[in-house]
Structure 1
Amino acid sequence: MPAFAPDAAYAAVLARDARFDGRLFVGVTSTGIYCRPICRVRTPRRENCRFFESAAQAEAEAFRPCMKCRPELAPPDPSLAWTTMDASRTLARQAAAWLEACDDAEASIEQLAEHLGITSRHLRRIFLAEHGVTPLQYLQTRRLLLAKALLTDTALPVQDVAAAAGFASLRRFNAAFVQHYRLQPSRLRAQRGAPAPGSEPTLRLAYRPPLAVDALLKFLAARAVPEVEQVDVAGRRIERSLALDVQGVRHAGGLAVRFDEAAGEVLLSLDASLWPAVGRVVALVRRWLDLDADPGPIAAHLQPLLPSSLPGLRLPGCLDRFELAVRAVLGQQITVAAARTLAGRLVGRLGEALPHGRRLFPQPMAVAAATRDEIAALGITGRRAETLRALAESWPRLRYAQQTLAREGSVAEALAELCELPGIGPWTAHYILMRGWSWPDAFPPADVVLRKQLAITERGAAATRAEAAAAARFSPFGSYAVLELWRTAP
């Protein structure tokens, strides 16, 4: 059952309240269908409604997803990845976040338990207590809903849909789909009228409005590296290259996202080479654009402290953590434009070429294999060249690179580990985690712009104390405060 009372849940359904989208699902006993609270079909009678916190709970009770409101499009619960709840609930929520990003058809609960540092038995117990379903039920629902979206919005062959959604075989996919939805996958496609072959496949990714699209696109446009990323602020569109490994297979190509502000959605298109990795790509894009943020609590906390703060401001993440870390190093003590120029040179020298004039950002092995002098020849100082090589050589061992999400205490550990690398100090480490881990409560220390914006005129230890006090006031949304202060700086 949801954390709110059934009568309150029904009131949200009556009002079609978008604030509950992704947090509340309503199962209708007379039809066997479950819907989002914003569904536009006729509102069911109260006595026919059952309420759930997740789609997985609804499907565990044998409800099928609505074809009209499409529960697979609901924005995920924003509390999954970062939470300040007690330890067991934190682990259960982070386990769900791991499953949301899971692309391994053979993923096991033992793997997840090892990742979280607990036993599989303890994981099952706390997961069931928090989410009302087992981890396997949760993962199965996530895969089936992704498959439903692919069948509806793309013309991918059913076998490719099964693989992209994380099923080990077409037989398993067909059996699970029929069992849960009482419909053959091919029948669903026939009913929904998927796009014709040859048209651009597009997935719809929902978010909670408002979203300050202009601010997000302008931030990314100022940092866009030629041949890697192109941002069209007026057209509300971003195109960029991406490479990632899924189950030991490398996929590389281009993707494009376009904001549909009227619908509250981002439209995602991929090169054919990336569709087999679509499950991983969707998770990366949602974090990159901060689509899972809940703007209400952020605004409620920051507006009294920063009255001019922009509603719907999002924290730009990244698609490639190594790329983000390299660009953070390149940006030390120089302008954003100069850092972008250096990154472009690095891409031109070490980045892999792709069709259509694109390049991939250099991978760790390529940077580690380059000599100090080769990197310095691009106009990068010798000291920073050494930092980049040290970062690349250490990459496989870094917590920042290995962890899918941050466990309790891991932020402090990752900060300390990054600061041990030559040429990386606290400011750079905070910035790397702020965007690379989408850490919502970063506050890069000794930032000149932040101190000026906050009128911190003290020096030395007194300035550090004043800065820490400001960070405490903005917590737990320090990163959003940082973005707002940077955005409004003269």
Structure 2
Amino acid sequence: MLKNVSGLYAAFKAKDSRFDGRFFVGVSSTGIYCRPVCRAKQPKPENCTFYSTAAEAEQAGFRPCLLCRPELAPGSSVTDATANLVYRAARMLEENCGNVQSLDEFAGRLGCTDRHLRRVFTAEYNVSPVQYLQTCRLLLAKNLLTDTDLSVLDVAMAAGFGSLRRFNDLFKKQYNLSPTALRKRTSKEKKHNSDVTLALGYRPPYRWEEILNFLAGRAIAGVDTVKNGEYMRTVHLVNAEGKHVYGWIRVGHKSSNNALIVTVNETLLPVLPLVLARVRHLFDLYCDPDAVYQMLSSMNNIRPGLCVLGIRLPGCFNAFEMAVRAVLGQQITVKAASTLAARIVNTYGTPIQTGIEGLTHVFPSPEDILALDGPIENHLGPLGVIAAQSRIIYDLARAIVQREIDFGLSAQPEEAIKKLMTIRGVGSWTAQYIAMHTMEWPDAFLETDVGVKKALGTYTSKELLEIAEAWRPWRSYATINLWNAL
């Protein structure tokens, strides 16, 4: 439970969206908990209790508000220079809430014991990891019940409950309402569609056009595209049982709700939590734009407008795909790198049927690359990829398959950068570029990048590094601002 009640109540009363997702308000007179932006009648201060997470509010006995819908609140952002253990654990629980994994496995991936993870997690969030996982599942299920016409059984399975009975029992116990009753109370006209459309909230402002332009400029023909203000791509994931799942997603923007609207192909329901986690990563939905701008606003002393409030750091949906893009982009233009990537996809990618023009293949996996017979340059060379880059791509694929380099939430970006640079042909620019996009590393800086140098003027690389010291730990965001300034 959070203290500083008067300050939190003032933020709640102001309905300031900058506080959305940072705390939740339990209202004793109604038994529900709300986001700080909730537009329901303002409760009295003495009826309000403040919690740092939705899980903590639910463990205190409160049910989620049907008006402001806590499941749509944006997540928390890492605000220090390296990944926080508890933050990464919470993100991993959200991402894997559809897969049954023991806490032992999670702790092992994070490099600690399960006992230590339980202790620090409970100290930070006032709930255990298991309770946090339960809330992740319940809120995802509530979102699906409210916004889709999926059957209650499909909702239970997609949210990771494993059985309908367990889902019904826990939902009734926690929310004092059956899933069917909730659907009736929140009923609205929904188009019958086998695909699933959900809203993912963010903390405003959000410069949608800028991130869409970034993705459009780097789209790979056959894999992803930007049309009519929406981003679309093919998807290939592996579920908990090792089954390969294929499909597509479409992402649009609804600024009035401070949310992205995500449509997920029905074939991806078995991996829905993982898909939504990848979308949040790709579109940087955990970002706190005010914290970033506060640190980077000094950029505008160099040139007005160099730093813009609300800029996001584009992540990635497929780490290997992004790493290959980075390698192909060495010493050539963005457009030329996209052309080479498209040739690789057309030759070695897996064809899929999407019904969407321009989405025809999934990007080849590391295993696909390793399965090619003979020297890799014999396969990629005829496509226009030089021998040195072909070997880097092969070495990256091998490192991923053998788990020598981790691009996931358990990764330590600074250590991963060092490992990447042990691969022959991978220099600082490539390693930093990969880290900032695949590992959500907020403090990468590309002092040798042509765009960065052009945006900042006539400085040496050493001088640029000295200037960028003032922008820690958000130098990745500074880099994106510099690119956008061009």
Q: TM-score range by the shorter chain?
A: over 0.9
Structure 2: distance between partners of 1:379 and 1:67: 55
- Structure 2 residues not aligned, in runs of 5+: none
| 1:214 aligned partner | 209
How far apart are residue 422 of structure 1 and its match? 2.2
The answer to whether the aligner puts 1:175 opposite 2:169 as a matched pair is yes
Structure 1: distance between partners of 2:335 and 2:99: 42
The answer to whether the aligner puts 1:481 opposite 2:469 as a matched pair is no
| 1:72 aligned partner | 71
- Structure 1 residues not aligned, in runs of 5+: none
CA deviation digits over 1:82-126, x for unaligned, max 9? 6359x9xx3222221221212354222212221222222222111
CA deviation digits over 1:253-273, x for unaligned, max 9? 110000112221100001111
| 1:349 aligned partner | 347
How far apart are residue 470 of structure 1 and its match? 2.3
How far apart are residue 362 of structure 1 and its match? 0.9
**Contact 1:22-1:36 at 8 Å conserved across structures:** yes
> What's the secondary structure of 1:401's corresponding residue?
coil
* TM norm structure 2: 0.93
> What's the secondary structure of 1:332's corresponding residue?
coil
Of the three residues 259, 270, 285, the one matched with 2:279 is 285
Counterparts in 2 of 1:399 and 1:236: CA distance versus 1, 3 Å: farther
| 1:93 aligned partner | 87
Counterparts in 2 of 1:457 and 1:197: CA distance versus 1, 3 Å: closer
CA deviation digits over 1:453-487, x for unaligned, max 9? 333544xxxx43x2331231111110111111122
What pairs up with 1:114-193 in 2 under 5 angstroms? 114-193=108-187
* TM norm structure 1: 0.93
Structure 1: distance between partners of 2:247 and 2:139: 25
Counterparts in 2 of 1:177 and 1:204: CA distance versus 1, 3 Å: same
Structure 1: distance between partners of 2:297 and 2:342: 37
RMSD: 1.8
| 1:418 aligned partner | 420
| 1:430 aligned partner | 432
What pairs up with 1:376-387 in 2 under 5 angstroms? 376-387=381-392
> What's the secondary structure of 1:287's corresponding residue?
helix
Structure 1: distance between partners of 2:12 and 2:98: 35
Percent sequence identity is 42
Counterparts in 2 of 1:239 and 1:488: CA distance versus 1, 3 Å: same
What pairs up with 1:269-284 in 2 under 5 angstroms? 269-284=263-278
**Contact 1:353-1:360 at 8 Å conserved across structures:** yes
Structure 2: distance between partners of 1:278 and 1:354: 19
**Contact 1:103-1:246 at 8 Å conserved across structures:** no
The answer to whether the aligner puts 1:255 opposite 2:253 as a matched pair is no
| 2:322 aligned partner | 324
- The residue type equivalent to 1:239 in the other structure is M
How far apart are residue 398 of structure 1 and its match? 4.2
The answer to whether the aligner puts 1:397 opposite 2:402 as a matched pair is yes
Select between 201-210 and 94-103 the one with higher mean Cα deviation: 94-103
Counterparts in 2 of 1:84 and 1:222: CA distance versus 1, 3 Å: closer
Count of residues paired in the alignment: 473
What pairs up with 1:189-268 in 2 under 5 angstroms? 189-193=183-187, 195-198=190-193, 200-232=195-227, 235-247=228-240, 248-268=242-262
What pairs up with 1:467-478 in 2 under 5 angstroms? 467-478=464-475
Structure 1: distance between partners of 2:205 and 2:407: 33
**Contact 1:426-1:445 at 8 Å conserved across structures:** no
> What's the secondary structure of 2:448's corresponding residue?
coil
